[in-house]
Amino acid sequence: MRERAAREIKHIGTSKEQQCIQILHEKFMRTLDLKLQYDKLEKRFLENMPPPSLNVFDKIELHAKGLKQDNTYFSSLREQWKNVLRKTKLDLTILMRQAKLTELEQEKNEYKELLEKYSLSISLRESYETLKHVSETRHHQFAKKKLNFLAK
């Protein structure tokens, strides 16, 4: 199905049209990749597990030279410290999700603009839609596997 659509595009389309389709397809695949990244952030947020890039905050510890390690008040402060860091990581995850969603919306808008700009013939558009459908289906299968990362 995909090969047939690619052959039709190559056979029917001019080099300019083929280039336009390639640009459209790259932009479409970028939106799929951004959606996967957003879905990963969303899943991490819902599971209360911030992205690994935020684990650097775990290295920040509360120190007090004058207090002993077994001091109960100091232990309480350390626990509060850890809770604040945990909340901070979740807050940063929220910001990461918002940024990724904004980026995704921008890419989708750019894709729509390109689709309107490149007025493809009906036969080329049908072949491109087939190519797009196959790519989207494969990407969703890939994404399904990738989104099971927290189940392990």
CB burial of 79-103 (b: ≥16 within 10 Å; e: otherwise) equals eeeeeebeeebeeebeebbeebeee
- pLDDT band per the 50, 70, 90 thresholds, residue 152: low
pLDDT of residue 20: 93
Distances (CA, A) of 110 to 79, 104, 117: 47, 10, 10
- pLDDT band per the 50, 70, 90 thresholds, residue 32: very high
pLDDT digits (tens, 9 = 90+) for 84-133: 999 999 999 999 999 999 999 999 999 999 999 988 889 899 999 999 99
Return the DSSP state at 48.
T
- pLDDT band per the 50, 70, 90 thresholds, residue 146: confident
Return the DSSP state at 60.
-
pLDDT digits (tens, 9 = 90+) for 1-11: 888 888 888 88
Mean pLDDT of all residues in 12-35: 94
The whole-angstrom separation of Cα 51 and Cα 38 is 12
